[in-house]
Chains A and B, each alone.
Chain A
Amino acid sequence: MNDMQTKEPVLNRDQTMVGLFLAVLKRDLLLSYRRRSDLVNPLIFFLMVATLFPLGVSPEPEFLAQVAPGVVWVAALLATLLSMDAVFRSDFEDGTLEQTLLSPQPLFVVVLGKVIAHWMLTGLPLTLLAPLLGVMLFLPEGGMTGLMLSLLLGTPTLSLVGAIGAALTVGLRKGGVLISLLVLPLYIPVLIFGTGAVQAAVTGLPLAGYLALLGAMLALGIVMAPLAIGAALRISVSG
């Protein structure tokens, strides 16, 4: 099937790009599905971090309701960060990454496929799990939509930016801590607007501005981050 598509490059170019994207997406989803524990780990981590706050700070419902947006967002951010190191690691170790870089397919599409697969396995489940944490932390019901919408728009940006850090450190043995150092400062704007959206939703203010900013960052991320990830992967593999 691939051979047939390469024979008619002009006609099917667009189709092969989409096909390539879907193939990468399917491959990564399948690989993760076969290692299910890796899939669930970030979610458990997400729940545990959120549990630490009432234990560590205060179980008062009024207080928790106030800090809930920030706690859920910080927990989601750390959970994403935790799972980031694995995005390119196994591909790098078994040589797949090198073959991907050598292949004539556009790296942009491959990288985007991998990052979207990562988001579907971490960001999306985190978003779906967030209302549970919201209830545990007494987040007012009005804030739930804001929480889910902001996470839905914000977590893909986290995956995109985090993948830059993962690509830069994939050649290093001890990449884990370094990723956090590189990526956490870049996460701060997403965190600010994400929690801002939830707080606006809680107090009944319009959400659209925050969501528009999160969407703008996502759009910028989708356009720019795969370029940086691709460049970083080439550097990491060549060095």
Chain B
Amino acid sequence: MAEKKKWMPRWFYQLASPRWSYEIMGKLLPWFAVAAASLLAVGAVWALLFAPADYQQGNSFRIIYIHVPSAILAQSCYMLMAVAGAIGLIWKMKVADMVAKSCAPVGATMAILALATGAIWGKPTWGSWWVWDARLTSMLILLFLYLGVIALNSAMESEATAAQATAVLALVGLVNIPIIKYSVDWWNTLHQPATFTLTERPAMPAEMWMPLLVMVIGFYCFFAVSLMMRTRNEILHRERRASWVRELIEKQ
């Protein structure tokens, strides 16, 4: 046991306490809320009013400032859900289960947003709302995976069993994430390759990708806010019999 403590930082073990997590999330929440609001406001104004129009697509390309962040987030949210689920399975950490459960609806919403904005952009650009292209299909599969996770979670009565079962399903579904990432190269169809890669400079000019970067970070902050609010609700709901929750409610 003493051996283990050297490997894992102390806060990791503290996160196992629902009360500690509730309080630390309460402290972090306003900072992330301010960051999300300001980044999204700055990014949206910059992207919609000041970024140059595309030489081929005109102003219709501006929807990527919503489309790309939501698509990125839909994928990272699944990763977070699977990792949180794995932590819940391995360390039997209740808070990790709650985080995993709170991820699913947010991720599903992001996937729907990405698909919807993609369809709206596709109509003037490709001439149709929907194209059976590898990336679109993969995003649709990702949405289906989210819906399966949500369905399984709500079908089980015991919260602990539901959390474990969804964690297994999320880990199995994680196989889908690399397929999404590499599907563009595999099938090589209509959709353009990823806008951002870590290794290469973006093909867009800086005036165009800078607001996109701001939007992506803003979306991440918004995601953090939404996730923390959901998780705090979940903690209160599941720990409703604990004395500290009762005290908290009586205070208000």
Contacts and interface: CB of A to CB of B under 8 A. Distances in A.
Q: Do A and B come from one complex?
A: yes
Interface of A: 161, 164, 168-169, 171-172, 174, 178, 181-182, 184-186, 188-189, 220, 228, 231-232, 235-236, 238-239
B160 interface: yes
A168 B141 contact: no
Contacts of A164: 168-169, 172
B151 A178 contact: yes
Nearest to B166: A168
B161 A185 contact: no
B164 A185 contact: no
A-B pairs, top 10 by smallest CB distance, nearest first, are A239-B161, A185-B144, A182-B148, A235-B164, A181-B148, A185-B141, A239-B158, A181-B151, A168-B165, A232-B168
B97 to A, nearest CB: 12
Contacts of B168: 164, 168, 228, 231-232, 235
A172 B156 CA distance: 7
Contact of B160 (A186, A220, A239): A239
A171 to B, nearest CB: 7
B105 interface: no
A220 B148 CA distance: 22
A122 to B, nearest CB: 21
A161 B169 CA distance: 11
A55 to B, nearest CB: 25
Contacts of B156: 171-172, 239
A172 B145 CA distance: 19
15 contacts: A164-B168, A178-B155, A181-B144, A181-B148, A181-B152, A182-B151, A182-B152, A184-B144, A186-B172, A186-B176, A228-B171, A228-B172, A236-B165, A238-B161, A239-B161
A175 to B, nearest CB: 8
Contact of B148 (A161, A185, A231): A185
B176 A185 contact: yes
A239 B152 CA distance: 14
* Residue in A178, A182, A236 with the greatest tally of chain B CB atoms within 10 Å: A182
A239 B176 CA distance: 27
Given A231-B168, A236-B165, A239-B160, A186 B173 contact: yes
Contacts of A236: 161, 165
B244 to A, nearest CB: 27
A165 to B, nearest CB: 8
A184 B156 CA distance: 20
Contacts of A174: 155
Contacts of B179: 189
B34 to A, nearest CB: 37
B147 interface: yes
Contacts of B176: 185-186
Interface in B156-188: 156, 158, 160-162, 164-165, 168-169, 171-173, 175-176, 179
B151 A235 contact: no
A172 B144 contact: no
Contacts of B147: 181
B169 A185 contact: no
Contacts of A228: 168, 171-172
A231 B90 CA distance: 11
Nearest to A225: B172
Given A164-B172, A185-B141, A171 B148 contact: no
A172 B155 contact: yes
A174 B155 CA distance: 9
Interface in B54-72: none
B165 A232 contact: yes
Contacts of A161: 172
B169 A182 contact: yes
Given A161-B172, A164-B169, A182-B151, 10 more contacts: A164-B168, A174-B155, A178-B155, A181-B144, A184-B144, A185-B176, A231-B89, A235-B164, A236-B165, A239-B164
B152 A169 contact: yes
A126 B144 CA distance: 27
Given A188-B141, A235-B164, A239-B156, A168 B169 contact: yes
A168 B130 CA distance: 33
Contacts of A186: 145, 172-173, 175-176
A185 B177 CA distance: 12
B142 to A, nearest CB: 8
Contacts of B158: 239
Interface in B77-117: 89
B165 A235 contact: yes
